[in-house]
Structure 1
Amino acid sequence: MRRFIVRRQRSPFKSFLLSLGIFLFVLLLFLWGISSISGISSREEEDTLRQALVESAVHCYALNGYYPESLEDLTKDYGILYDSQRFVVDYRPQGENLMPEITVIRKEE
């Protein structure tokens, strides 16, 4: 029988600290996951923009027999929209029948 055994009561302060510690750990883990997903999403957005620009330039060449002369022509004629605050696009035409160099760089925030 355990009638005469005295159980030590847990201090409410220790329980609070343990709960707070677990909560902060879970919160930090959540924030780390969100920032990781945000970085992956931004890289995928950069790749998608680059792919859209290349495909549009190739499409223009297939239809017209020449590549667009400038980035403005490419974006205007093919309806490509991008956030110029987040990305720098370098479009360097090589000639009418040579694929232009298209570079997309994400700006650091």
Structure 2
Amino acid sequence: MKTLGKWLGSLILFAGALVFLWNGLIDAGQTSARQDTERITNAIRKAAVECYSVEGKYPKNLAYLQDEYGLVLNEDAYFITYRLDAENMMPDIYVYRKGDAHE
């Protein structure tokens, strides 16, 4: 009976460790996805500010930043919204990973 108890205790401990590890991996994946969208947003913002400092106005669209300032975006994996209200105001930039329903 002691052997069964030790075996069962070890099994429960192992299952608990697996659950803990699995939750850590899921959290790390979500953190990485969040950091990716922040990096893309920051890259777009940096290119827009560079354009503003050189030309005196923010670019009208992302295509201009891609063509003139070498901005490279993965539009297959992300929804990217760039909205310019006025040439002298920082544009609104939103980046979402495609397939993420929770963001």
Q: TM-score range by the shorter chain?
A: 0.7 to 0.9
Structure 2: 5+ residue runs without aligned partners?
none
Instruction: Tell me the equivalent position of 2:38.
Output: 47
Deviations 1:15-52 (A, max 9, x none): 22221111111011011011111111211221121111
| Among 11, 34, 38, the residue aligned to 2:25 | 34
* Letter in structure 2 aligned against 1:19: S
How many residues are matched?
Answer: 100
Percent identity over the alignment is 30
1:76 aligns with 2:67: yes
> How far apart are the structure 1 equivalents of 2:88 and 2:21?
50
1:57-68 superposed matches below 5 A:
57-68=48-59
- Name whichever structure is richer in helix by fraction: 2
Task: Provide runs of 4+ in structure 1 moved above 3 Å.
Answer: none
* Matched position secondary structure for 1:91: strand
* Letter in structure 2 aligned against 1:80: L
Query: Relative to structure 2, which stretch is displaced further, 24-33 or 75-84?
Result: 75-84
> How far apart are the structure 2 equivalents of 1:94 and 1:22?
57
Structure 1: 5+ residue runs without aligned partners?
1-8
**What TM-score, normalized by structure 2, do the two folds share?**
0.79
> How far apart are the structure 2 equivalents of 1:83 and 1:26?
37
